[in-house]
Chain A
Amino acid sequence: MSKTKIKVDYSKCTAPVDCKQCLGVCQPAVLILTFTDKDFYNPKDWKIFPAFPGLCIGCNLCVDKCPENAITVSLK
């Protein structure tokens, strides 16, 4: 069984709460919005984070959907 490695480039992904297209396409809901240390209570500063890499099926839908090409999914 092969596993995938998901990387999010935060220099390209700057406004995830406004865009959030990758969240909508991911079938097993691997990517989630998570808090940042800067401001925990303000969701505007939250970022996209691959929380459950073990559940990723490697369909690359999020890679195709991302307008900034910030996500890369590679086989381990």
Chain B
Amino acid sequence: MCKFCLKHGANGKWYLNAQNYLKKESEKFEDTREYLEVLWGNLERVYLGKTYGLSINKTLDYRLKMPLLGRVIKAVVHRKLEKEKNPNPLIAESHLGQVIPLEEAKMITTTLADISVKANCPCRFKHRGIKEASCLGFTALAEVLPKLPRYIPENGLEVLDADKIELFLDTMNKKGKVHTIWAGPLPYIAAMCSCEYPQCIGLRTRIDFDVKAVYKGEYIALVEPDKCIGCGKCASRCQFGAMNFAPTLNRPIIDARKCFGCGLCKESCEQQAIKLIDRNEIPITRGMY
């Protein structure tokens, strides 16, 4: 269990706790909406503007590589990302994500989140100039999105029913996208995105700069050597560089240290030779989020 699970989870994972989706009745709902409006309205500025006195494009890269001081800067950034009291959305305080496998994504959208609407991915438009509706906004975000025309997809905002969401998640998974949940402000979970490295703000900061804007999932993938026939379909799906196809063994090798537990390789395997196991069962990856 990660630290958010200990803090906000009800006997399990924090993103499977129904309380983190229901803010409608609470007094804090107005604050949540205001926070989301500022955050999503200024997402580009948050990404490239001066954050914590560092700008990601000019200074963050080499400052994080400085010995000792880089570690201090990283610790400060992580503390700000996890700040829960009076978060400032303009510097992305209290906004972070976690990778989840497909089954849990389906569980969240069908049973836990009330309203889900599709929205355009802001990251993909910034990086590639493509407008693709691959994000799902939940209750509070669904009320905020109509005010932000950039995020409204071609067909307009529509509330999706269970079948449509399942179809949407399946197609995203087939395309090879990683499902992530996004909190903001913690522990409220506002969105579920289908991300893709390198054109994702969160995965880019995590993989290229090692800033924990996205946490690793609760699982890691393991290959069962007896079932594997060596077709190699899974190896092309990994976005994190954790999977390597070994011709001598005629099966893939997974680097558990790099694995994010997204389950993309598992979904592509026709022999069911890849299984997801709890990250904490293996000593090396225990607590490595």
Contact = CB atoms under 8 A, between A and B. Distances in A.
B154 to A, nearest CB: 14
A23 B61 contact: no
A54 B128 contact: no
Nearest to B42: A40
B199 A33 contact: no
A33 B61 CA distance: 19
B22 to A, nearest CB: 31
Given A17-B129, A52-B208, A34 B198 contact: no
A51 B48 contact: yes
Contact of B198 (A24, A28, A33): A28
Contact of A52 (B42, B45, B57): B57
B204 interface: yes
Contact of B127 (A29, A35, A43, A53): A29
B62 A33 contact: no
The number of chain A residues touching the other chain, given as a range, is 20 to 34
A34 to B, nearest CB: 6
Interface in B52-85: 56-57, 61-62
A40 B45 contact: yes
Contact of B62 (A17, A40, A49, A54): A54
B199 A29 contact: yes
B286 interface: no
Nearest to B198: A29
A28 B209 CA distance: 13
A23 B127 contact: yes
B150 interface: yes
B126 interface: yes
A41 B150 contact: yes
Contact of A33 (B41, B125, B149): B125
A42 to B, nearest CB: 9
| Most chain B CB within a 10 A radius of its CB, from A16, A32, A49 | A32
A23 to B, nearest CB: 5
A20 interface: yes
A33 B48 CA distance: 11
Interface string B187-208: 0000000000011000010001
Given A23-B128, A29-B198, A54-B62, A43 B150 contact: yes
A43 B125 contact: yes
Interface of B: 41-42, 44-45, 48, 56-57, 61-62, 125-129, 149-150, 198-199, 204, 208
22 contacts: A16-B129, A17-B129, A24-B128, A24-B129, A28-B198, A29-B127, A29-B128, A32-B48, A32-B127, A33-B127, A34-B126, A35-B44, A40-B42, A40-B45, A41-B41, A41-B150, A49-B48, A49-B57, A51-B48, A52-B208, A54-B62, A55-B208
